[in-house]
Amino acid sequence: MLKTDFSRMYIDGEWRKGSSDKSMTNKNPFNEEELVTIQSATKEDLNEAYEAATRAQEKWAAELPQNKRAVLEKVVAVMEENKELIIDWLVKEAGSTLMKANVEFQASINIVKEAAGYPYHMEGKIMPSQTPGKENRVYRNPLGVIGIISPWNFPFHLAIRSIAPALATGNGVVLKPATDTPVTGGLIFASIFEAAGLPKGLLNVVVGRGSEIGDEIVTHPAPRLISFTGSTEVGRHIGELAGRSLKKTALELGGNNALVVLEDADIEQAVESALFGKFYHQGQICMSLNRIFVHKDIYDKFAERFIELAKNLKYGDPAEKTTNVGPLINKDQVDRILKDVKASVEQGAKIQLGGQADGNVLEPTVLTGVTNKMPIAENEIFGPVAVLIPFDSEEEAVEMVNDYSFGLSGSVHSSNIERGTSFAHKIHTGMIHVNDQSVNDEAHMPFGGEKDSGLGRFNGEWVLEEFTTLKWLSVQHTPRDYGPFINQLK
């Protein structure tokens, strides 16, 4: 079994208290039960973590590929042995329903299995040269140390998505989890990788407030890349800080994702896609549907069926097996969303379902009469509020979808696959799905956004480009003739 005392952070293979005089109390978002109190990290703690990762990384980079792979394979085994523990923490710390927690767990397993092959993909090339007797070689090497800042919504999956490939490609890691999910987004990985036999110092987990160490995890000289998943506002700040030191960034940021239902779509299929894409994990997913556009000819039928099924969504305690919609992560999120709902209603939107909150549980809510310029459509909702917007033509739908500066995910429904595909090509987004919804993630497919939704790609062969660097090494096999420059000296 894993270590389950998560009141200490993990630096250089040791569980220890943070050095700050401040502490962080972690609570269950559903019932406000206190889960754990953690002494916060300071800049000194962070520095020790980065120094440990730097020391350990050099030896790890030279480790045989089969040994790196063996550690990751052991990580999979440890995770599977402790599935119930991990699921329990996801439910009580992140407010995950049991359905969502199980899917998140399996997605995380897939990520580690995919990463286990990366040590054998650190390939290079031998290329021709324009110089006689020269051989050009290109080597793929680890970056060195990677700083990871994980989010609170899918904390386990979105943390391991960076941890596993970073370690698999020979890097050291310092991880700072979100303050709402310090265990499932951070400390639990220290326990997992420790049990899997990862050499000490390679994975360090610091838990601290952004006000104390938020900028320093980016500006410290050790990391050559910062991997961040979170809001566009914070991501832009991280990008600015990293740019000053010429560090790379892998940023997966906010979205204003749309589902477009063309007039020839299968309405039942489109409704089911919309329900899943909107209400899965309370809509607290970067890929969640923010806007649902429906052609005017089928708008009423779609809305009627959507509301009919949405009424059957069970909301409340995420620990109950049949719960579809659990709590939002904290009250600030509830208040923010209800403010946008209220403002949109004042502008003409109508609440057809829900609209009330009990603690951090916001009822599944459906709004009609919404325009693309209302706050509930303009802002990323990140909660269980569905907005249904009619459109007249494909051209209008394309214009409205692309109207905002986000471009993470999206979807379109049509009975004509080629028509749907043609429409999808017109949407400025990193990912889009035909006859499906927007929440898709596969460990071997490129994951990332365009515009304000981020930089870079995670998963599969594409993450290798993010977490490694290339070196050109040439070998002059025969004496080189430097021409007149040297000849005139003889």
Contact present, 171 and 145 (Cβ < 8 Å)? yes
Within 10 A of 440 (CB to CB), how many other CB atoms are there?
Answer: 15
Contact residues for 230 (Cβ-Cβ < 8 A; gap 6+): 149, 151, 178, 253
Query: Is the torsion defined by CA of 445, 449, 450, 456 positive or negative?
Result: negative
40 secondary structure, DSSP code: P
- Nearest CA to 271 out of 243, 300, 242 is that of 300
**DSSP character string of 176-230:** E--TT-TIIIIIHHHHHHHHTTPPTTSEEE----IIIIITHHHHSSS-SEEEEES
How far apart are alpha carbons 436 and 392 in whole angstroms?
22
Query: Is the torsion defined by CA of 106, 110, 113, 116 positive or negative?
Result: negative
How far apart are alpha carbons 137 and 314 in whole angstroms?
59
Q: What is the CA radius of gyration of the chain?
A: 25
Angle at 452 between CA 450 and CA 457, to 5 degrees: 40
Give the per-residue SS3 of 10-22.
EECCEEECCCCCC
Q: One of 216, 252, 363, 394 is an active-site residue; which one?
A: 252
Question: Which tokens hold the place of 90?
Answer: 């996801």
- Is residue 252 among the annotated active site residues? yes
41 secondary structure, DSSP code: P
Q: Using a CB cutoff of 8 Å and minimum separation of 24, what contacts does 192-197 make?
A: 192/2, 192/75, 192/78, 192/79, 192/82, 193/71, 193/75, 193/163, 193/167, 194/3, 194/10, 194/13, 195/2, 195/3, 195/74, 195/78, 196/71, 196/72, 196/74, 196/75, 196/77, 196/78, 197/71, 197/74
C-alpha count within 13 angstroms, C-beta hemisphere, residue 178? 22
In the chain, the largest separation of any two C-alpha atoms, in whole Å, equals 92
Can you name the residues that pair with 251 across neighbouring β-strands?
228, 455
Contact residues for 272 (Cβ-Cβ < 8 A; gap 6+): 309
Q: Using a CB cutoff of 8 Å and minimum separation of 24, what contacts does 441-444 make?
A: 441/107, 441/157, 441/287, 442/110, 443/107, 443/110, 443/111, 443/113, 443/114, 444/114
Question: Would strands 248-252 and 454-455 be described as parallel, antiparallel, or unpaired?
Answer: antiparallel
Q: One of 93, 286, 363, 394 is an active-site residue; which one?
A: 286
Question: Which tokens hold the place of 290?
Answer: 């923010």
- The set of catalytic residues is 252, 286
